[in-house]
């Protein structure tokens, strides 16, 4: 017990003062948590407080954020040639940055990582492994990680997962994400190892093969599923086609990320696989900062590991309550060291929540709306903004159950032109679909295209299209 207290104190001091965290210390805390859970069944309030951070008080939170931003910026001024130039050009004093003045620093965009990659790699760190974005929204970006990050991030995620009962030693995680997402796959595998759970790494293979894996193993069948929404949609369709239902599966969690997860698909997952799909947020460029969606549909992003802003899509200034903006994230040092970023504009659209107390189960953690799509996909009609999520939600709620939704949407002066495969209708008319959009105050004209023989990725590329084929289904 004394050793556990010492380890918790070391972790707390590292978090507060921004000193490098010993990954082995976190792994020992994971071992302590496993022993406590085995003996008492609950982790203990002291460890839970450590995990959430002592920042429920707004004043303490602001002081922590200012120190973390200044610490991160000072290091960037020493080790990043990109930010050295940026600070000099805009006369930025890293030691004086605060929550109120951070918007004076220009945002970092994806194309900058692609064209000036070497300038972002810290000159005092040896890169160890690279990972890439999937490329479904454009050319992939390559991100380099250090050995320290590779060890630290899974240890922190495991401790969090154990204390929130998101993973335990009895679990088996099936991983249906692309093998090119090196960091995510490796993190999931190490989380399972540290938690004493099992892992099945399948990738994005033919859906029926993934379904077979979920069904096989009896009491050792997968209980956790890490998956993309579009691939989950194909899995649900495959299960329904084979007449399967909740009693055929052992799943207790389905975690989705990387794409818009519609409410219809989440409910269908509950009806078919026996549990709702959780809408999570993470992206390669801002690891290890991530977020969880509560039962009221708010996106709560981690306070300890990074600073999160919502900036107006037009002005670049902080978005007003209730307004649309993009998530801009600064991962703090010492959680991010090899390829650190300051004010990375994820281009993910959210709506800033009204300035009033939250009442959800994660009310102690600041939140935004859930992800509404990419800013580059935002449509405007008659002066009204139409986020991508609104289109996906309407299409995937159609009686034909066209999950994952395939479409092309183009804005016009007075309406949106929506191109859909004919099979999306399946018993309803174009007029019916147009009426559903008008009911949501989105004037829309529907155009149908022949799905047979057409490459549907031209309509809307999805992560389910990153298919990793095998010889399993080849016929002789």
Chain position carrying tokens 């090899």: 338
* DSSP bridge partners of 309: 328
**β-strand 444-449 against 416-421: which pairing, if any?**
parallel
> Residue 1 — very low, low, confident or very high, per pLDDT cuts 50/70/90?
very low
**β-strand 129-132 against 142-145: which pairing, if any?**
antiparallel
Q: Is the pLDDT of residue 36 over 90?
A: no
DSSP state, residue 101: T
Q: Is the pLDDT of residue 7 over 60?
A: no
Output the CA–CA distances (angstroms, integers) from residue 57 to 54, 62, 64, 245, 409, in the order listed.
8, 9, 11, 45, 44
pLDDT in the model for residue 137: 63
> Is 114 inside a domain boundary?
no
Rounded mean pLDDT of 132-151? Answer: 85
Output the average pLDDT for the chain. 90
Least confident of 101-115, 172-186, 318-332, 450-464: 450-464
What digits encode the pLDDT tens for the residues 337-375?
999 999 999 999 999 999 888 899 888 888 999 999 999
> Is 49 inside a domain boundary?
no
* Higher-confidence position of 246 and 61: 246
The total domain count for the chain is 1
> Is 196 inside a domain boundary?
no
Name the nearest CA neighbour of 404 among 417, 392, 415, 416. 392
Rounded mean pLDDT of 383-388? Answer: 92
> Is 413 inside a domain boundary?
yes
For residues 191, 193, 197, 198, the Cα torsion angle rounded to the nearest 10 degrees is: 110
> Is 401 inside a domain boundary?
yes
Which range marks the domain in which residue 458 is found? 379-465
Rounded mean pLDDT of 86-114? Answer: 96
Name the nearest CA neighbour of 11 among 305, 340, 362, 330. 305
**β-strand 367-369 against 344-351: which pairing, if any?**
unpaired
Whole-structure pTM value: 0.91
> Is 127 inside a domain boundary?
no
Rounded mean pLDDT of 322-337? Answer: 96
> Is 96 inside a domain boundary?
no
> Is 33 inside a domain boundary?
no
What digits encode the pLDDT tens for the residues 169-224?
999 999 999 988 888 999 999 999 999 999 999 999 999 999 999 998 777 899 99
The domain that holds 402 is classified in CATH as 3.30.300
CA distance 280 to 299: 8
Residues contacting residue 67 through CB under 8 Å, at least 6 positions apart: 18
Q: Is the pLDDT of residue 237 over 80?
A: yes
Longest C-alpha distance within the chain, in Å? Answer: 69
Q: List strands edge to edge, sheet with 277-281.
A: 198-201, 172-176, 224-227, 253-256, 277-281, 291-293, 298-301, 367-369
Report percent pLDDT > 90 for the chain: 73
> Residue 451 — very low, low, confident or very high, per pLDDT cuts 50/70/90?
low
Token pair for 300: 């709560």
pLDDT in the model for residue 45: 54
- Size of the chain in residues: 476
């Amino acid at each position: 017990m004394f050793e556990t207290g010492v380890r918790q104190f070391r972790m707390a001091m590292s978090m507060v003062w921004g000193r490098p965290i010993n990954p082995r210390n976190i792994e020992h805390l994971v071992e302590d948590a496993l022993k406590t859970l085995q003996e008492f069944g609950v982790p203990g309030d002291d460890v839970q407080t450590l995990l959430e951070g002592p920042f429920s008080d707004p004043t303490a939170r602001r002081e922590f954020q200012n120190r973390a931003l200044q610490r991160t910026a000072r290091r960037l001024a020493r080790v990043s040639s990109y930010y050295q130039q940026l600070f000099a050009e805009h006369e930025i004093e890293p030691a004086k940055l605060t929550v109120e003045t951070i918007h004076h620093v220009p945002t970092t965009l994806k194309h900058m990582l692609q064209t000036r990659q070497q300038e972002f790699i810290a000159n005092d760190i040896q890169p160890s492994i690279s990972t890439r974005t999937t490329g479904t929204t454009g050319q992939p970006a390559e991100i380099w990680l250090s050995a320290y990050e590779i060890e630290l991030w899974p240890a922190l995620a495991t401790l969090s997962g154990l204390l929130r009962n998101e993973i335990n030693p009895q679990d088996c995680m099936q991983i249906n994400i692309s093998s090119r997402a090196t960091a995510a796959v490796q993190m999931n595998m190490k989380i399972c190892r540290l938690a004493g759970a099992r892992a099945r790494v399948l990738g994005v293979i033919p859906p029926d093969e993934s379904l077979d894996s979920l069904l096989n193993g009896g009491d050792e069948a997968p209980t956790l599923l890490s998956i993309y929404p579009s691939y989950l949609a194909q899995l649900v369709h495959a299960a329904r086609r084979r007449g399967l239902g909740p009693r055929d599966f052992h799943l207790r969690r389905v975690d989705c990320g990387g794409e818009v997860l519609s409410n219809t698909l989440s409910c269908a997952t509950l009806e078919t696989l026996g549990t709702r799909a959780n809408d999570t947020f993470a992206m390669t460029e801002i690891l290890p900062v991530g977020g969880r969606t509560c039962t009221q549909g708010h996106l709560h992003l981690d306070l300890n590991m990074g600073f999160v802003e919502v900036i107006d899509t037009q002005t670049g200034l902080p978005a007003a309550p209730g307004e649309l903006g993009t998530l801009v994230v600064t991962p703090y040092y010492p959680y991010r060291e090899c390829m650190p970023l300051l004010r990375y504009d994820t281009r993910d659209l959210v709506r800033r929540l009204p300035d009033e107390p939250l009442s959800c189960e994660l009310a102690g953690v600041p939140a935004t709306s859930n992800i509404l799509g990419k800013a580059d996909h935002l449509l405007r009609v008659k002066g009204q903004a139409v986020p991508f999520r609104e289109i996906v939600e309407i299409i995937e709620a159609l009686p034909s159950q066209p999950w994952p939704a395939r479409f092309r949407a183009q804005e016009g002066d007075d309406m949106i032109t929506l191109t859909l495969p004919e099979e999306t209708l399946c018993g309803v008319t174009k007029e019916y679909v147009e009426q559903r959009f008008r009911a949501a105050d989105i004037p829309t004209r529907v155009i149908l295209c022949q799905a047979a023989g057409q490459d549907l990725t031209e309509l809307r590329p999805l992560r389910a299209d990153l298919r990793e084929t095998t010889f399993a289904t080849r016929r002789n």
